[in-house]
Amino acid sequence: MAAGETQLYAKVSSKLKGRSLPSLLDPLLAMGIPAHTALKALAATGRRTAEEAAEWLRCHSNDPSLDDPIPQEYALFLCPTGPLLERLQEFWRESRRQCAKNRAHELFPHV
């Protein structure tokens, strides 16, 4: 990791240290708020404080989707190099050979 990246990571990491999930979640759970609802409130407020999450919950108490589970999707961006890049390129060529070119071949492989 480059020096600049290390400094940036340290800056972000120090900001998040006081905002660990248990320290934010526990006060909400102690209020009797279900865990999935408390997690939704924390996500909606950017995990700033438990107080902000509690206020968000008060403002959204009549929201019909409040108790719905949070859909979680993850995107993985990969910048391969070396042998992994070679294997992916080989896979891509073979895929195009077997399936013929289609719109999926217009984008780099993604997960």
pLDDT at 100: 75
Per-position b or e across 18-54, b if 16+ CB within 10 A of its CB = eeeeeebbeebeeeebeeebbbbbbeebebebbebbb
pLDDT tens column, 60-82: 999 998 888 777 676 667 788 89
Mean pLDDT of all residues belonging to the chain: 79
Task: Tokens 């020096």: give the residue.
Answer: 3
Architecture of domain 3-59: Orthogonal Bundle (1.10)
pTM of the model: 0.51
Taking the C-alpha atoms of residue 90 and residue 46, their distance in angstroms, rounded to an integer, is 41
Please state the rounded mean pLDDT for residues 99-108.
Answer: 71
So where are the chain's domains?
3-59, 73-111
pLDDT at residue 1, as a whole number: 47
